[in-house]
Structure 1
Amino acid sequence: MTRITLLGMLSSAVLLMTACSRNETEKPSGIDHVIVIGVDGLSPDGIKKAPTPMLDSMIAGGSVKWNVRTVLTSSSSQNWASMIMGAGPEQHGITSNDWEMDDHTLPPIVQESDGRFPTIFSILHKQRPDAEIGTVYHWGGFGRLFQKNAVNYDKHFETEDSTAADFVRYIKAKKPVLGFLHLDHVDHAGHHDGHGSPAYYQAVAKTDSLVGQVLQAIREAGMQDNTLVIIWADHGGIGYGHGGATPQEAEIAGIFYGKNIRKKYEVQQQVYTYDLAATIAFALGLQQPYAWIGRPVKAAFEGFNEPDNLWLGVKTIAAPTIYPDRKLYQQAGGLYVDKQATVTMASKIPGAIVRYTTDGTEPDSTSPVYSKPFTLDKTTIVKARAFDKEGNYSQVMPAYFRVVKSGAGNGVTGTFYAGDNLSKLPDFTRMKKGVSWTSPEFVTDLQHINGLLKGGNASFALTYDAFIQIDKAGSYTFATQSDDGSRLLVDGREVVDNDGNHGVTEATGSVSLTEGRHAIRVEYYNNGGGFWLETFYKGPGTPKQLIPADKLFLKQ
């Protein structure tokens, strides 16, 4: 090897090392302040459908990622923790809303002197001890997630207005390097009135006005030219709750606005909720701990590109809508007694076509094209998928149309039991029976159940008894989706165990059945707040579907 060749190799190595070193420490220039506004329960749907002129202007003047993935379960504690800790529950150990410093089972993989996993607050405090750091939060539980000695300002208020007002005062008085505002009222509306309800969208609109107050405070504090503002959320929701593994619950929007942020840009890289802490560290030039798994969303900043190794896979477009559309937890389609069902579809993508099936199979490029409404005179699963001009396609949208004729003995016997802070399914032999009624399906009629609750006590239990018609012998899989716990039994044998306090969660089980009618029983309880129950089955010649009214009978 010649001396010249050796020197060339050494020079290349030095340049590479210098580049690597520069890449490890690079940061956007001129960002002196980061303000995070975290909104509990704020879904992308809420931002898109509610009147949000302030958020809309931030998206137009900044960058957005519409499908940031939460950690599971899609509940508050583990997601707020992941946001500020740059890691998931597997690392920080906060696995549920029941977590407490003195009562948990999984220790963090690394901890600070107070026993908590390192947060963006503690990392900033250690690397810049003089930095002003403050948190103001609406939900008191947020305050148990971070190191108290790492923040200069730590306040909790009972309303969204008082929380935002105090945060505004704090910004103008202290001009924090890192300020974190937590708002909880959107989540309240989701639980009380339902995600996607008018009250929910009204709560999102209220968030928009509060965001406007914070932006005004930043301007009045003279910080607008060197501040990064980030909008984030812990989870979305479906029906009256969250916690499940659905896009509605486990995807949120991240909005980046202000100094050094790209304008009118939609981030392409995959983003996870724990990337928030890494992005704050990146913006402020901090070294993140090795224990963090979060990565900064660099593509949102001017002068930085999407990752070189970004793999986007197949582009997925928005799924079509099948009317009657899904409402709260209720599946698209519906129950039709002594009448035909009319099916209408629409694409959300201009110029896209919708293809569909009515036999339970997945629609593909050879399936019929929807052109006009059509009717159904029997129980049918309709599945639809959108295809755009470039050949991209959507996820499948299912709808369950249940058609039944009266006078054939169909139905389910439901019975109500008043509860007292139930945390699991009760022993129904020890419970006092309330009223009973006949229902067409296994369903929690919200209006009916609310009429049975007394004194504001939303803890109750239900049983549903019927006989299910099995047309072909074989192995059948049953499922319950419930908030809170449920159990499904066939011929007295437990098939599905979905017990315990949780958001809408699906559990399944299988059983071999002969042709004919079999006793089927569904047990359910609600601890409090929102509630829901749906039951599904599939088997030989029977695609997965809601157990339909025309297969349920009051007598054997």
Structure 2
Amino acid sequence: MKKTIQVILLMVCGLIFSTQAHTEKAPRVILIGIDGMSAAGFQHAFTPNLDQIVKDGLITLNARIAMPSVSAPNWATHLMGTGPEQHGVTFNGWTPATTVLSPLCADNLGYFPSVFTVFRQQRPDLKTCFFYDWKELADMFNPADIGYSKYQQPEQFRENIKEAADYIVTQKPDFAFLYIGHPDEVGHEYKWESPEYLKAIEDVDSALGYLFDKLREKGLYDDTFILVVSDHGGVEYSHGGLSASEMNVPWIIKGPGIVQGRMYSLPLNTLQTAPTIVSLFGLSLPSCWIGKPAELIFSKDGGAPLHKDIYVPAPELPFLKNMSDSPVRFEIKSPYKDLVVRYEIGDVLPTVASPVYTGPIILEKSCTVQAAAFKDKVMSKVEKAEFIKVCPIESYGLEPEPSPRYAGNGPSSLFDKKEASADFKDKAWLGFEGSNVTLSMVMKASGSNKVVISCLHQPSSWIFAPKGIKVEGSTDGSKWQQLGQWSAESATAKIKSGKLQLEVPLALSESKILRVYIQSMGTCPDGHPGSGHAAWLFIDEVWAE
């Protein structure tokens, strides 16, 4: 009889506890996943909206991801509180039907428990949603665990963010996962840390501004926990390796009671993302999760004294590289008003003793500008911009015409002061198949001291750097003298694949007319798969300084 009464009491207590848990106000958590956003990319890109999240919370730039540094295994790790060796998602395109390594624990359909599973099992009253623009990402979650989901095509990442924002502020889900794949796609196409890649991060930041503004407008921002995470960085055009650039990523959290404006000082890995989210709701972690919640993230727990370092975002420069035949106005922007920006012109790095930026600088000569933001002697990452003052041209000529397949915008492409990307399909490139090239430039004034040829060396695509360059000068177009030359054989450094800028120093002369002979490789060299076939010469810009 006593045993029966005890059981009844336990059942009643359990019912009371369950009712209290279900009526208790749950926190609002938004997890923002930005695919391929590296630590360096986040630091170099101008991201005022994400920087504000950092100012309102904590950041580490050294969150360690799981091996391999591939997307699906690492998004599973973020959402499943354990690594690929446990959850079994070991490659992109994973499904329960294609699994190679069986999950250590799984439901009857073969899915490892995710945060969505925890919410459905322990708090079925909570509303969850999932917005994404990589279709295969959804294959790692049991769809029955997710309250609402919406897929957009990858190129519609802005629409994806906007729909998520509108849903969040109107439907008020308790947990939302917003995935954005744009930076990863641009990194694969243009290279990690390239201008195009940094702009991709900036475009995502701009689009996220809509979400954050909506939260503020509806009075939801202050009491919402927001986590911003990434799955990997990259090297050159890819990832999957073990370098720090691939394995260490940003991890950001802000919300009620979270330490503000500091660098998270404890070791952290992405296995801790899901446990941190679940712990915010006061729920139990599944027994097969091995990750633990991020420690000491709240001020009340003593996190503020522990995380001493202030995060100072880098300033925004107007360009990374710019060519102009006239002076340019150089304006530096800082994401926070309370930061001091200091700069140096030349190869010297800025310090606390460097000049304070107070307004636009006029650049009249070729130079490098380096700038950093400072707060309480804490310095941001240094941003660097290169300005090239080119000699103005009155007219130009080109022989022969480029191949119709790679004709760019015609000969003017070589003198428009706009460099192409490293992709030979970029329409800024002019391609010449097996032929030498002759350029002529009539300058507005004499005194040029060098000519620079911007070209591409990509042997895997049968594209080779010039074999040699010769520059002649004339005052009247009839009498010519050699002013300078360059040859691949005499180059002091080995020519590496990628974009090249080949400089030809010129002898002092009164020449206003320059003629540039560019010698092609002619045919692919011995040992190359295309040996004996025509080699391509790709040029995107030519200028004199």
* Shorter-chain TM-score tier: 0.5 to 0.7
> Which residue, out of 299, 302, 325, partners 2:299?
302
Say whether residues 1:253 and 2:221 are aligned partners: no
Which residue of structure 2 aligns with residue 489 of structure 1? none
Secondary structure, counterpart of 2:269 in structure 1:
coil
Q: CA deviation at 1:211?
A: 1.9
Q: Following the alignment from structure 1 to structure 2, what is the Cα–Cα distance between the partners of residues 168 and 155?
A: 12
> Which residue, out of 81, 105, 112, partners 1:110?
105
> Which residue, out of 84, 88, 101, partners 1:89?
84
Which residue of structure 2 aligns with residue 125 of structure 1? 120
Note if contact 2:77-2:270 (Cα within 8 Å) is conserved in structure 1. Answer: yes
Q: CA deviation at 1:99?
A: 2.3
Deviations 1:397-433 (A, max 9, x none): xxxxxxxxxxxxxxxxxxxxxxxxxxxxxxxxxxxxx
Q: Following the alignment from structure 1 to structure 2, what is the Cα–Cα distance between the partners of residues 277 and 233?
A: 13
Which residue of structure 2 aligns with residue 183 of structure 1? 180
Q: What does 1:429-508 correspond to in 2, within 5 Å?
A: 447-450=458-461
Which residue of structure 2 aligns with residue 169 of structure 1? 166
**Residues 129 and 30 of structure 1: CA distance in aligned 2, closer, same or farther (over 3 Å):** closer
> Which residue, out of 194, 197, 209, partners 1:197?
194
**Residues 86 and 168 of structure 1: CA distance in aligned 2, closer, same or farther (over 3 Å):** same
Secondary structure, counterpart of 1:228 in structure 2:
strand
Q: Following the alignment from structure 2 to structure 1, what is the Cα–Cα distance between the partners of residues 460 and 30?
A: 43
Larger Rg: 2
Q: Following the alignment from structure 2 to structure 1, what is the Cα–Cα distance between the partners of residues 285 and 208?
A: 28
Say whether residues 1:146 and 2:126 are aligned partners: no
Deviations 1:478-500 (A, max 9, x none): xxxx9xxxxxxxxxxxxxxxxxx
The residue type paired with residue 215 of structure 1 is F
Deviations 1:459-493 (A, max 9, x none): xxxxxxxxxxxxxxxxxxxxxxx9xxxxxxxxxxx
Note if contact 2:94-2:139 (Cα within 8 Å) is conserved in structure 1. Answer: no
Q: CA deviation at 1:166?
A: 1.3
Q: Following the alignment from structure 2 to structure 1, what is the Cα–Cα distance between the partners of residues 41 and 67?
A: 21
Which residue of structure 2 aligns with residue 264 of structure 1? 261
Q: CA deviation at 1:280?
A: 0.2
Q: State the number of aligned residues.
A: 311
Q: CA deviation at 1:226?
A: 2.1
The residue type paired with residue 182 of structure 1 is Y
**Residues 259 and 102 of structure 1: CA distance in aligned 2, closer, same or farther (over 3 Å):** same
**Residues 450 and 303 of structure 1: CA distance in aligned 2, closer, same or farther (over 3 Å):** farther
Say whether residues 1:215 and 2:212 are aligned partners: yes
Q: Following the alignment from structure 2 to structure 1, what is the Cα–Cα distance between the partners of residues 165 and 83?
A: 30
Q: Following the alignment from structure 1 to structure 2, what is the Cα–Cα distance between the partners of residues 348 and 75?
A: 36
Q: Following the alignment from structure 1 to structure 2, what is the Cα–Cα distance between the partners of residues 130 and 446?
A: 59
**Residues 350 and 238 of structure 1: CA distance in aligned 2, closer, same or farther (over 3 Å):** farther
Secondary structure, counterpart of 2:296 in structure 1:
helix
**Residues 261 and 30 of structure 1: CA distance in aligned 2, closer, same or farther (over 3 Å):** farther
The residue type paired with residue 232 of structure 1 is V
Secondary structure, counterpart of 1:274 in structure 2:
helix
Q: Following the alignment from structure 1 to structure 2, what is the Cα–Cα distance between the partners of residues 302 and 70?
A: 26
Q: CA deviation at 1:157?
A: 0.2
**Residues 30 and 54 of structure 1: CA distance in aligned 2, closer, same or farther (over 3 Å):** farther
Secondary structure, counterpart of 1:36 in structure 2:
strand
Q: What does 1:322-361 correspond to in 2, within 5 Å?
A: none
Note if contact 2:65-2:247 (Cα within 8 Å) is conserved in structure 1. Answer: yes
Percent identical pairs in the alignment equals: 31
Q: CA deviation at 1:248?
A: 0.5
> Which residue, out of 34, 40, 48, partners 2:43?
48
Q: Following the alignment from structure 1 to structure 2, what is the Cα–Cα distance between the partners of residues 214 and 293?
A: 32
Q: Following the alignment from structure 1 to structure 2, what is the Cα–Cα distance between the partners of residues 161 and 451?
A: 37
Q: Following the alignment from structure 1 to structure 2, what is the Cα–Cα distance between the partners of residues 172 and 302?
A: 27
Note if contact 2:57-2:252 (Cα within 8 Å) is conserved in structure 1. Answer: yes
Which residue of structure 1 aligns with residue 228 of structure 2? 231
Note if contact 1:133-1:151 (Cα within 8 Å) is conserved in structure 2. Answer: yes
Unaligned runs of 5+ in 2: 1-23, 310-345, 354-432, 435-455, 465-496, 498-525, 530-545
Q: Following the alignment from structure 1 to structure 2, what is the Cα–Cα distance between the partners of residues 275 and 291?
A: 13
Note if contact 1:54-1:212 (Cα within 8 Å) is conserved in structure 2. Answer: yes
Secondary structure, counterpart of 1:300 in structure 2:
coil
Q: CA deviation at 1:96?
A: 1.5
Which residue of structure 1 aligns with residue 63 of structure 2? 68
**Residues 80 and 522 of structure 1: CA distance in aligned 2, closer, same or farther (over 3 Å):** farther
**Residues 273 and 346 of structure 1: CA distance in aligned 2, closer, same or farther (over 3 Å):** farther
Q: Following the alignment from structure 1 to structure 2, what is the Cα–Cα distance between the partners of residues 348 and 126?
A: 54
Deviations 1:358-412 (A, max 9, x none): xxxxxxxxxxxxxxxxxxxxxxxxxxxxxxxxxxxxxxxxxxxxxxxxxxxxxxx
Note if contact 2:28-2:225 (Cα within 8 Å) is conserved in structure 1. Answer: yes
Q: CA deviation at 1:177?
A: 0.6
